[in-house]
Amino acid sequence: MAQLASGHAGQPGEAPSRRDRVRAATTDEIKLTARRILVADGPDALSLRAIAREMGMTAPALYRYFGSREDLIGHVIADIFTEIAGDIQAAIGRAAATSGGDMTHKLVAACHEFRRWSLDHRPEFGLLFGSPLPDLEAALDGDDVIAACAMKFASTFFTLFLDLWQHHPFPVRPDSEIDQGLRDQLARYRDSLGAELPLGAVFTFLWCWVRLYGMVSLEVFGHLHFALDDAAPMFEYTLSELAAMVGLPYLPPAPGA
């Protein structure tokens, strides 16, 4: 976790002091520099010494802002989660404004924005959703900052799904048609969300995420090039199938549209 600035931080409602503003700006610059190095050269190239050299600081000075390399990377990841969540929420807001709040438009906009962001930020996508970084997994386990930002991202889709279920419930699998071992896991996941949903609805939500993430992930990592030069039409067919699963009408755009 980033170390707190020493000294008086001001009372609630007070404007930040000049010292606090300078510290916040330096913290942001450190994280942006770390992100540039991560994107350009990967995690192995990132060190506090490399960041200090690029910023014209000394490495020991960086420890006044972040306690370790792992701590810094954790905050960079948290910022990326916040960024993608904000972009998706903005897309949902635009779709709601132009469609009068139509649920299909909002869900499709969220999925399109997830794909757009992912393709435009492939290295960052790998940090969030690719293989875990071995040297960070233990250090970041239970990190409240990352967990909160990751949950903010996850809630963008779950909130839409919950809103849809509450206002336009759709048929779902009865418990008896779900494997017992899977039912137990779905129940634990539902309890962790604090949501009052039938297990069949939780199953549908997870299945939709698996399909959406799987399609986007294959495209981001270039695993569709063996067959497709342009995966956009396949993505639209995927969206139409997902929409049908939650009782919404959505047809892929006409060929050439």
Domain residue extents for the chain: 18-62, 69-245
Nearest to 194 by CA among 234, 162, 220: 162
| CA 2/CA 67 separation, integer angstroms | 7
Written as one letter, the residue type at 254 is: A
Contacts (Cβ under 8 Å, ≥6 apart) of 74 = 136, 139, 140, 143, 145, 146
pLDDT tens digits, 93-129: 999 999 999 999 999 999 999 999 999 999 999 888 8
Q: Convert the pLDDT of each residue in 132-145 to its tens digit.
A: 655 555 545 556 77
The CATH class given to the 69-245 domain equals mainly alpha
- Per the CB < 8 A criterion, the answer to whether 27 and 17 are in contact is no
pLDDT at 127: 84
Structure tokens at 170: 């759709």
As a whole number of angstroms, the distance between CA 230 and CA 219 comes to 9
Instruction: Return the minimum-mean-pLDDT range out of 54-63, 73-82, 131-140, 158-167.
Output: 131-140
Q: Does residue 208 contact residue 165 with C-beta atoms inside 8 Å?
A: no
CB-CB neighbours of 90 under 10 Å: 12
Predicted local distance difference test score (pLDDT) of residue 35: 92
C-alpha angle 146/149/153, rounded to 5°?
130
- Helix ranges restricted to H, 168-257: 180-193, 199-220, 232-245
Distances (CA, A) of 145 to 30, 60, 73, 75, 123: 17, 23, 12, 7, 21
DSSP string, 207-223: HHHHHHHHHHHHHHTTT
Structure tokens at 151: 């949950």
Task: Tell me the CATH class for 18-62.
Answer: mainly alpha
Mean pLDDT of the 22-29 span:
90
Q: In the predicted model, is pLDDT for residue 244 greater than 50?
A: yes
- Whole-number pLDDT of residue 136: 53
**How far apart (Å, rounded) are the C-alpha atoms in residues 197 and 199?**
6
How would residue 151 be classed by pLDDT, with cut points 50, 70 and 90? confident
- Residue 194: count of CB within 10 angstroms of its CB: 6
